[in-house]
């Protein structure tokens, strides 16, 4: 990531803050931001700086992420029904204030550029690590069981067949954080 003048101006405008970059190169950055209320925030290193941008400017760090576990495979209409079920679960999560991750939305990508099942499973599982909760809906499948086992190994609570409860948990989280 390179920091340029346009980026800094955009950050100043969005934050209405004073921004000072003390130095950067390809591996490191030190940025100091003084907010209008006098609060000073300093970041060193690109990972920390990027995390700040997400927290301070986008706010997604403060909203609960929910991984939607549901069967995908089948034939014809069965695949479409599984995708519909996953999207309906995601919609309930959004209504509760959560940010769902729906691996079924890779379907369109797969139609355009097919990959084997293991490719998609690796893509899906990478997102589990960033979620706060998971919800399992629909029937049984080997992939769902593996996703659920990974969630449990990571300490991520899995709501089994209970979308309303995870949506309620998201609502409580959002209200507690003042969203």
Segment 2-48, tens digit of pLDDT: 455 545 555 555 555 566 666 666 556 666 767 677 776 665 665 66
- 89 and 147 share one domain: yes
pLDDT score recorded for residue 132: 93
**Domain limit, last residue, from 61, 88, 106:** 61
Residues of the chain with pLDDT under 70: 1-31, 33, 35, 40-61, 177-179
pLDDT of residue 73: 81
Confidence at residue 27, expressed as pLDDT on a 0 to 100 scale: 59
Sheet with strand 40-44: strands edge to edge: 18-24, 29-34, 40-44
Q: Single out the residue of 131, 178, 179 nearest to residue 159, CA to CA.
A: 131
Sheet holding 99-101, edge to edge: 99-101, 65-69, 133-136, 157-160
Considering the domain architecture, whether residues 110 and 148 belong to the same structural domain is answered as yes
**Residue after which a domain boundary falls, among 13, 41, 61:** 61
Does one domain contain both 53 and 81? no
pLDDT value of position 74: 77
Give the residue numbers spanning the domain of 26.
Answer: 5-61
Query: How many domains, the chain?
Result: 2
Q: How confident is the model at residue 55, as a pLDDT? A: 54
Q: How many helices (H) and strands (E) does the chain have?
A: 7, 7
Regarding whether 134 and 54 lie in a shared domain, the answer is: no
- Return the number of other C-beta atoms located less than 10 Å from residue 159's C-beta: 20
Question: Do residue 52 and residue 139 come from a single domain?
Answer: no
Residues 17 and 98 in one domain: no
Tell me what pLDDT residue 156 has: 93
Same domain for 55 and 70?
Answer: no
Identify the pLDDT of residue 166: 93
- Looking at the structure, tell me whether residues 100 and 35 fall in a common domain: no
Based on the domain organization, do 77 and 130 belong to the same domain? yes
Which pair of structure tokens corresponds to residue 34?
Answer: 């003084």
State the pLDDT at residue 79.
86
pTM of the model: 0.65
């Amino acid at each position: 990531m390179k920091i340029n003048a346009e980026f800094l101006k955009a950050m100043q405008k969005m934050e209405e803050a004073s921004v000072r970059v003390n130095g950067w190169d390809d591996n490191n950055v030190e940025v100091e931001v003084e907010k209008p209320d006098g609060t000073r925030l300093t970041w060193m290193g690109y990972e920390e700086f990027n995390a700040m941008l997400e927290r301070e400017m986008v706010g997604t760090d403060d909203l609960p992420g929910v991984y939607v576990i549901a069967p995908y495979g089948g034939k014809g209409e069965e695949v479409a029904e599984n995708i519909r079920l996953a999207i309906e679960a995601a919609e309930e999560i959004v209504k509760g204030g959560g940010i769902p991750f729906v691996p079924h939305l890779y379907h369109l990508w797969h139609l355009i550029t097919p990959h084997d099942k293991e490719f998609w499973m690796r893509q899906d599982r990478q997102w589990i690590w960033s979620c706060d909760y998971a919800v399992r809906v629909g029937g049984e499948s080997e992939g769902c069981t593996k996703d659920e086992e990974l969630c449990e190994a990571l300490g991520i609570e899995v709501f089994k067949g209970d979308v309303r409860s995870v949506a309620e948990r998201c609502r409580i989280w959002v209200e507690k954080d003042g969203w």
